[in-house]
């Protein structure tokens, strides 16, 4: 199974990036994961939607080629970061590459809500007509890594919190089943 992962934070020591990298390593026997460089995408411009810049074309092709998409995002001002919304906007116009694509949303934050508000917004975006992704249903499948500063190794290491990893293992298996259902 080929997975493309979108990380909503660009900072080097991002908890969300480290969560994506933890998954890339921990589940390497279950799927092959590439992390997309969404920071390299220009701002969405509707004048260019039918013939976008090469870097956008490459990104959209990677989305098309993936069997599934994982989105690991922080919450910025009660919503998703602009860089993630920008990437999703590119996917939603011209060739609509997210249509029917299985998506697993996750997030990590330093506060108590663990990106809950951002994930609610993200789920709305993912079912907008231009996106029309096939999102892992929420009931019990929300991965909200709160108090992230206590759950990762040092300032740049991976997720090490045992119960969070155990929960993540279960949800990853649920997502794989969801993808296989087609
Ligand atoms: C612009 C900005 C807005 C933020 N807004 C929220 C917010 O609405 N809710 C929240 O829980 N944390 C918020 N935070 C704090 C982030 O959860 C925290 O910085 C987190 O570590 C960012 O994820 P990262 O480590 O992957 O970069 C915000 C941070 C930034 C930079």
Q: How far is Cα of residue 17 from the mean position of the Cα atoms in its chain?
A: 10
What are the domain boundaries of the chain? 2-181
Nearest C-alpha to atom 3 of ligand 1 is from which residue? 76
Quote the CA–CA distance of 39 and 53 in Å, as a whole number.
14
Instruction: Please state the rounded mean pLDDT for residues 9-17.
Output: 97
Instruction: Please state the rounded mean pLDDT for residues 112-125.
Output: 97
Could you tell me if the CB of 15 is within 6 A of ligand 1? yes
Q: Tell me how far CA of residue 134 lies from CA of 101, 144, 168, in angstroms.
A: 5, 19, 20
Distance 180 CA to ligand 1 centre (A): 33
Instruction: Please tell me the predicted confidence (pLDDT) of residue 156.
Output: 87
Instruction: Please state the rounded mean pLDDT for residues 35-45.
Output: 98
Could you tell me if the CB of 9 is within 6 A of ligand 1? yes
Distance 76 CA to ligand 1 centre (A): 5
Is residue 182 predicted with pLDDT exceeding 90?
no
Could you tell me if the CB of 11 is within 6 A of ligand 1? yes
Q: Is 54 helix (H, G, I), strand (E, B) or coil?
A: helix
Give the tokens for residue 37: 């460089």
Could you tell me if the CB of 2 is within 6 A of ligand 1? no
Quote the CA–CA distance of 72 and 102 in Å, as a whole number.
14
Instruction: Please tell me the predicted confidence (pLDDT) of residue 130.
Output: 98
Was domain 2-181 assigned CATH 2.60.40.10?
A: no
């Amino acid at each position: 199974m080929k997975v493309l992962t979108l990380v909503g934070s660009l900072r080097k020591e991002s908890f969300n990036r480290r969560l994506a990298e933890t998954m890339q390593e921990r589940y390497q026997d279950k799927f092959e994961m590439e992390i997309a460089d969404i920071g390299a995408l220009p701002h969405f411009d509707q004048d260019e939607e039918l013939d976008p810049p090469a870097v956008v074309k490459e990104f959209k092709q990677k989305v098309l080629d993936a069997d599934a998409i994982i989105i690991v995002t922080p919450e910025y001002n009660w919503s998703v970061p602009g860089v993630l919304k920008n990437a999703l906007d590119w996917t939603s116009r011209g060739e609509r590459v997210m249509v029917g694509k299985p998506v697993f949303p996750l997030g990590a934050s330093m506060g108590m809500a663990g990106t809950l508000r951002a994930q609610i917004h993200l789920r709305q975006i993912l079912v907008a007509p231009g996106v029309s992704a096939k999102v892992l249903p929420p009931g019990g499948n929300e991965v909200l890594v709160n108090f992230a500063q206590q759950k990762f190794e040092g300032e740049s290491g991976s997720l090490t919190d045992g119960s969070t990893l155990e929960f993540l293992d279960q949800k990853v298996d649920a997502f794989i089943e969801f993808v296989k259902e087609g």
